[in-house]
């Protein structure tokens, strides 16, 4: 059961299983990238379906299993599909030749595939998967070019015969490779993976190809935040502190153009204010790295984002979907129960206050020359399904790091429901925590920002504790004890402005109960004239936070059975 305003990690992961099982071709298990707003809605195949979407779906399916113990029925087929795309013998992942895709190894596909292979290795993928991952590292190194500044790629789409293009958007195509390369080096104990990550980063940073010295950037935010997370990871792995500091400045810039509720714009300088859930995933990944390495204040940001805009962006109903008699499935289009298949996925273009902030139309430049334009053009899009599995990965990243096991005890970083490694943490309401250790050990609990400790009891008796920095500390808690903590919770109303020099500003008013938003309203500005022309009737169909206005429920289900986070990023 999904209760608005609470973070029921396992419940939302179980709901996501519907998405990874149903938002795929019922015959081939190939994911559908696009959902069009038609009568009835259509799920349609497109060129991101392969190395990009198959990898993301597989990774989120593996994470669902780790979180809940339930293995989605499509997991094995998605894995087989992903391996099938390594068909050229050079270690790279290729899109197949279809009417809507070319047989190319595109660099952004490679980064998503690297991520999935790393998670698959951690989830006991076996020697076959380790070999594929190592060969992929070798393949990426083989097609790179070196100069005095480091390594780079002379194009974005590679074929067995060479590069198809000469342009290279570093922030989109190259930067996102770094984070999984660093993780692959750690998992495989394979130095060439780290060397490639360092060489790619050295050139990007020296030439300021993605980030200015102050951390600012332009363009596609999802890939820029993925690049910043890579900067942080490779900086930690190589001891280059200046790269970590640049990653932090990139986060600061991203925070300036975002909202405290967790809304992150899809693009810097775009004429519309919309959020890809993919952005939230990379935003959280970057902040978790920073929070664990010297920026503890970011735990509060993480808490606000996951309990607000991230969980509000998950599809929990199909009420938006128009009825109609579905046509028979074709090799490209599916119309059968598309709205219900989307449940458990996450929004592609939300606004701070609505699930559907934008339903853009494809331009001809998106299509491959052989694609049938009648399938793709002049149809408003409901969502893009790269965001579906990205939302679950964002939840997983927070779930896996909310509680840290340390020698002889635990550190609770986030006041969220989590049961793992001998410790049960329940958050029945903002400002309340109940912690039950199943073995003896030390315990530290972070005090949420803007809060103070009202009361701390152990077995219904007021307990002594120490405060170190921003953490409550008990050197020893007994197995079977029950620690109940109450923090102060402040009700407040904030007004925040979304602005950038290339689009009109808009002011939003948020109502808060502690870290939890109960309502968001647009009070000034709104869609620009240009944006309004691109909005459809879906725009105001599903307001966010609508289930919270009458108060937050205390009926939060308990965390699922204890599970270790075997996929660790």
Mean pLDDT score, 135-164: 97
Tokens describing residue 435 = 């912690």
- Of all residues in the chain, the percent with pLDDT exceeding 70 is 95
User: From residue 105, how far is each of 46, 140, 198 by CA, in Å?
Assistant: 15, 10, 22
Whether the predicted pLDDT of 87 surpasses 80:
yes
Whether the predicted pLDDT of 492 surpasses 50:
yes
pLDDT digits over 418-477, tens only?
Answer: 999 899 999 988 899 999 999 999 999 999 999 999 999 999 999 899 999 999 999 999
pLDDT digits over 210-257, tens only?
Answer: 999 999 999 999 999 999 999 999 999 999 999 999 999 999 999 999
pLDDT digits over 183-196, tens only?
Answer: 999 999 999 999 99
Whether the predicted pLDDT of 272 surpasses 80:
no
Residues 322 and 38 sit within 8 Å (Cβ to Cβ): yes
pLDDT given for residue 541 in this prediction: 85
pLDDT given for residue 19 in this prediction: 98
Whether the predicted pLDDT of 198 surpasses 90:
yes
Whether the predicted pLDDT of 388 surpasses 90:
yes
pLDDT digits over 390-426, tens only?
Answer: 999 999 999 999 999 999 999 999 999 999 989 999 9
Q: CA-based Rg of the chain, rounded to a whole angstrom?
A: 23
**What is the C-alpha to C-alpha distance for residues 90 and 232, in angstroms, rounded to an integer?**
29
User: Do strands 432-437 and 423-429 pair parallel, antiparallel, or not at all (unpaired)?
Assistant: antiparallel
Going by C-beta distance under 8 Å and a sequence separation of 6 or more, which residues neighbour residue 345? 16, 19, 23, 314, 315, 383, 385, 387, 388, 389, 391
**pTM of structure:** 0.96
Q: Which helix (H) or strand (E) holds 129?
A: helix 127-142
Select the more confidently predicted residue: 532 or 370: 370
Whether the predicted pLDDT of 314 surpasses 80:
yes
Give the ranges where 295-372 is alpha helix by DSSP (H). 298-305, 311-312, 338-341
Mean pLDDT score, 83-93: 97
Other CB atoms within a 10 A radius of the CB of residue 316 amount to 16
pLDDT given for residue 193 in this prediction: 98
User: From residue 389, how far is each of 153, 304, 317, 340 by CA, in Å?
Assistant: 28, 20, 17, 16
pLDDT digits over 43-58, tens only?
Answer: 999 999 999 999 999 9
**What is the C-alpha to C-alpha distance for residues 567 and 563, in angstroms, rounded to an integer?**
11
**What is the C-alpha to C-alpha distance for residues 438 and 424, in angstroms, rounded to an integer?**
8
Domains in the chain, ordered, with CATH?
9-320+344-401 (1.50.10.10), 403-487 (2.60.40)
Helix, coil or strand: residue 368: coil
Mean pLDDT score, 481-495: 96
Residues 321 and 41 sit within 8 Å (Cβ to Cβ): yes
pLDDT digits over 525-548, tens only?
Answer: 877 666 666 666 687 888 999 878
Whether the predicted pLDDT of 520 surpasses 80:
yes
Residues 121 and 183 sit within 8 Å (Cβ to Cβ): no
pLDDT given for residue 28 in this prediction: 97
């Amino acid at each position: 059961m999904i209760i608005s305003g609470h973070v029921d990690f396992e419940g939302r992961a179980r709901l996501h299983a519907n998405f990874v099982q149903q938002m795929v071709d019922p015959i081939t298990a190939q994911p559908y990238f696009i959902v069009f707003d038609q009568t009835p809605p259509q799920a349609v195949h497109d060129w991101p379906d392969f190395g990009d979407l198959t990898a993301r779906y597989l990774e989120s399916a593996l994470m669902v299993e780790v979180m809940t113990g339930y293995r989605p029925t499509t997991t094995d087929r998605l894995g087989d599909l992903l391996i099938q795309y390594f068909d050229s013998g050079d270690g790279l992942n290729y899109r197949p030749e279809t009417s809507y895709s070319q047989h190319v190894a595109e660099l952004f596909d490679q980064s998503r595939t690297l991520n999935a292979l790393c998670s698959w290795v951690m989830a006991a993928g076996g020697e076959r998967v380790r070999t594929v991952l190592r060969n992929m590292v070798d393949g990426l190194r083989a097609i790179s070019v070196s100069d005095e500044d480091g390594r780079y790629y002379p194009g974005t789409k590679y074929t067995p015969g060479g590069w198809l293009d000469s342009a290279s958007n570093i922030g989109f195509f190259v930067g996102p490779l770094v984070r999984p390369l660093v993780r692959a080096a750690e998992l495989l104990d394979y130095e060439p993976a780290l060397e490639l990550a360092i060489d790619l980063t050295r050139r990007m940073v020296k030439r300021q190809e993605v980030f200015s010295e102050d951390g600012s950037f332009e363009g596609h935010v999802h890939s820029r935040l993925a690049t910043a997370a890579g900067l942080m990871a490779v900086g930690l792995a190589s001891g280059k502190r200046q790269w970590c500091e640049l990653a932090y400045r990139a986060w600061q810039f991203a925070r300036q153009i975002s909202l405290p509720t967790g809304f992150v714009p899809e693009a810097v300088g775009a004429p519309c204010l919309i959020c890809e859930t993919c952005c939230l995933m990379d935003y959280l990944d970057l902040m978790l790295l920073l929070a664990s390495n010297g920026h503890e204040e970011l735990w509060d940001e993480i808490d606000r984002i996951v309990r607000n805009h991230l969980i509000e962006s998950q599809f929990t109903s199909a009420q938006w979907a128009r009825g109609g008699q579905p046509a028979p499935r074709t090799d490209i289009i599916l119309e059968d129960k598309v709205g219900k298949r989307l449940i458990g996925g996450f929004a592609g273009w939300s606004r701070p206050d609505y699930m559907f902030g934008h339903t853009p139309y494809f331009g001809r430049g998106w299509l491959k020359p052989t694609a049938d334009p009648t399938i793709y053009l002049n149809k408003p899009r409901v969502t893009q399904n790269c965001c579906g599995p990205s939302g679950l990965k964002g939840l997983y990243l927070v779930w896996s790091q909310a509680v840290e096991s340390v020698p002889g005890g635990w550190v609770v970083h986030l006041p969220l429901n989590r049961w793992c490694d001998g410790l049960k943490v329940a958050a029945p309401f903002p400002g309340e925590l109940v912690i039950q250790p199943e073995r003896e050990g030390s315990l530290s609990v972070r005090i949420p920002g803007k809060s103070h400790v009202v009361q701390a009891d152990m077995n219904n008796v007021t307990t002594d504790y120490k405060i170190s920095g921003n953490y409550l500390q008990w050197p020893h808690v007994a197995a079977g004890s029950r620690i109940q903590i109450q923090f102060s919770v402040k009700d407040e109303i904030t007004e925040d402005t979304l602005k950038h020099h290339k689009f009109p500003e808009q002011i939003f008013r948020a109502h808060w109960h502690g870290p939890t938003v109960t309502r968001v309203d647009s009070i000034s500005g709104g869609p620009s004239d240009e944006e309004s022309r691109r909005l459809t009737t879906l725009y105001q169909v599903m307001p966010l936070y609508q289930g919270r206005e009458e108060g937050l429920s205390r009926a939060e289900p308990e965390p699922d059975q204890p599970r270790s986070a075997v996929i660790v990023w």
